[in-house]
Structures are given as C-alpha cells and as structure tokens.
Structure 1
Amino acid sequence: MYQGELFTLSDDPINLQLLNSCAGLLDLALNTDQDAEFAWAHSSSKKKILIHFINDIPLAMINLDRKLFNSGKHIAICHNLTLNDELALLNQGFTGACDSKQPTYIMLKVIKQTLEGNLSFSNEALSRYILSQQRPVASTEYLSLFKLTTKKEQEVLSLVCMGLSNNEVAERLSVSINTIKMHLQNIYKKTKVKNRSQLLLAYSR
C-alpha cells in the first residue's frame, strides 16, 4: 500500500524520471495519467502532492490555476529559488519548495516533510511569513472563542480562521469533512455566531 501519490503537470522526461525516483524511495505512487489535471481532481488518495516545476515564478504566479489548490499539497521545484520567491509561494498556498539545482535528497526531504503535514521552506522565509501575518487581536474576544470550545474544536477553529476550507481542515486533521462540519456547528452554537463569516470577523477583532 502506497503512503501517498505524486502528481505533476510537467511532461518533461527528465522531471518525470526524477519524480519516479523520488516516488520509489518514499514508497509513493507516481500518477502518469495523460490528463494530469483530471487525475488530480478525481484522485481518492488521502495524501496527494502536486509537484510544480517552475522556471519563471512571477509568470507562474500569474498563470496559476487556483482550482488545483482545492485539495492536496503543493510543492514547487524552482529555477534559482530566492527568499522572495519562497514568500510568494507561501502566500499562494504552497507547502514546500526547493531549488532545482539542489541534490535529490533535498527534494526527498521536502516531500517527506509535506507528507508529515509540515511546511518545508527555509527558516528565514518561514520567519518572515509568520511575522507578516501577525496582527494584534483583542484578547478578551480571542480568548472567549477558545474558552467555550473543546480542544478538537479549537484545532478546527484555528485552521478555519487561517483561511483553510472545510476539505483542507479535514485533510490536515485526518478526519472526514462531516466531522469538520459537526465541529463547526458546535462552535457556532457555543459562540453564538450564525455563520463562518461572523466567526472570522470575531476572530479578526
């Protein structure tokens, strides 16, 4: 039984050979369907990773198909990866990145960390990203959301307020989407908010 599944939109034989090697070493399936986008959208794998081979990051960001990010994890293999590139990728929802000139074991490390549910970027990029996302929050309202909820509900609340969809939260916590919906309904009742928008508003204050 494979531990997950790798996908790519690239049809470059060198890229495919590289991914085939990585898949073999990490006990992953490599999806080679000719219609990669369709295969990605309809894969039932709980741990699926789409590898993006990117030569020009600004151009790739403009042409990025956001629908691809509705599910799974995304790793960028980039030509001449810079700190600013890493920050741009983090903002777009990528979970990891590495420079194409790095040795293969670095890519294996990025894929492995992503499979384990972690982000895989340089420490400097992660620090800058976290600092850029920080904002002052009214402590009383913030704490009230957490005092009224269980530990599991708090996990769901935190991920939802980070902007994750129900599907993404379910995948992150390795539970069904119905479980996430149940937790959200309980949170709404306990915090006396009517919907997701009001919840996000209360959190942002």
Structure 2
Amino acid sequence: MLFRRRQPETFGQKLRGALWPRRSWRRSARYMQRRVLRLRATPHAIAAGIATGVFSTFTPFIGFHFIIAFALAWLIRGSLAGAALGCLLGNPVTFPLIWASTYELGRYVLAAETPDGHAPASLGPALMRGDLSAVWTPYLKPMLVGSVPLGLGFALLTYFVVLTMARSFQETRLRRTAAERALAAARAAQPTLNGPLP
C-alpha cells in the first residue's frame, strides 16, 4: 500500500486518535472546515446536507444516523457528502451530552417520571426477543421527543452558519480564479522580448 505506516498503530493508539486529535483541536477543526467548504455543491446543498447530519445525530436511533441523514438530505436536495460529515457531530465525546439532553428535555415535555436508575428485570430477555417495548416508554420515547426540538434547533443554526461560510468561500474562490485567468490572459497577450525579429 502506498501510504501505509512503517509501524502499524496499536489498538490503544487508534482509540486515542479517535477520541483526541493527534495535533490539536484547532487544527482538526480547521481541517474539517476546509473539507466542508470544498465540497462540490451549491452553498444550500452543503448547508442542508450538514444540517440533516446534525439533526439525525440527535435521534436515538443509533446505527441509523447515516441512513436518516441521507434520506433527509435527498428530500431537501442537500449534499450526501455533507450529510455524512454532519453525522460526525455524533462521537464518543458528544453522545453522552446529546443523550442526556434529549432524554431530560423529552422527560420534561412528556411530564414523565424518572426511572429509579435500574434496568427493568426483563430488559435482557426482552431485547433478546426483540421486544423493544421494555425500553420504549422509560427511555427511548423521551429521547425521541426531546431529539426533535434540540435536533431542529442545532440543525437550523448549523444550516445558516455553513450557508454563510460556503457562500463567502465560493465567492472568494471565484474572484481568485477570475483574477488568475485575467493575469494569465494578460501575460499571454504581451509580446515576448526574446521573440523572432521581423
């Protein structure tokens, strides 16, 4: 393989790289920002795609976030690549905060009682049988209800921020490209000093 490491990473190194950036948070954020802005799509498509990824991350359907994001992005003509990048909001660092906030908001909206902190005795056998009703009412239902307003709020905020950044980036790139083409045309139009004498 062309870019394979000389010494393969150990499991601990891979885990550390997944949880904490190798260089710095600032450099990693800058890298992600450039990847988002360089997507080949309209500013609306980029922003809408990323917003759908952010929204789907707030839902409690772990394992289906990409599918939800792709379906929503397709419906609103968003970028599928942007949707995949938006799903990166969900990671081992942010998921506990997302789950806790969606659960608490959903419980508040539903005026539900707080479980005593212990899993139901029949939870294991119920999940083995595929009976999700054992966790639906006490946990998943509040998380789903809380995920809608939180997910929509963060998705709208993300949409407008990314839309503004993508428009600015693409306009700057168009101006720079036009200036480079004009400069190249001007250089090509100038007579060369070492050209043949008449």
User: TM exceeds 0.5?
Assistant: no
- Normalised to the residue count of structure 2, the TM-score between the two structures is 0.26
Q: Point out the structure with the larger strand share.
A: 1
Q: Point out the structure with the larger helix share.
A: 2
- Normalised to the residue count of structure 1, the TM-score between the two structures is 0.26
